[in-house]
């Protein structure tokens, strides 16, 4: 499965540091991320690849970070391997 996770947070809240630490602690799941400014705050996008039993707890943990205003995710069932 591939999951795109959008995390909105307040600039200067310390959330960016904790999100970065979580990204590195889960580098077997997180294949990439992008930082942007939107909606009067910051937006971090994570591309996560793995099993639902691993993705779910990662997304849940992102929701607990102080300063995070919203977490949304979209799960895609994709197979990029062709015969």
Tokens of 24: 């590195």
What does the pLDDT average to over 53-62?
A: 96
* pLDDT > 70? residue 83: no
Alpha helices in the chain (DSSP H): 15-25, 52-63
Tokens of 46: 């994570």
For residue 39, the model assigns a pLDDT of 83
First to last CA, the chain: 19
Task: Give CA separation, 16 vs 22, 54, 58, in Å.
Answer: 10, 22, 16
């Amino acid at each position: 499965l591939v999951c795109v996770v959008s995390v909105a947070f307040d600039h200067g809240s310390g959330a960016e540091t904790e999100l970065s630490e979580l990204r590195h602690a889960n580098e077997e799941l997180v294949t990439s991320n992008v930082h942007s400014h939107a909606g009067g705050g910051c937006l971090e996008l994570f591309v996560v690849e793995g099993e639902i039993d691993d993705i779910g707890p990662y997304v849940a943990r992102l929701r607990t970070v102080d300063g995070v205003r919203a977490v949304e995710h979209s799960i895609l069932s994709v197979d990029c391997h062709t015969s």
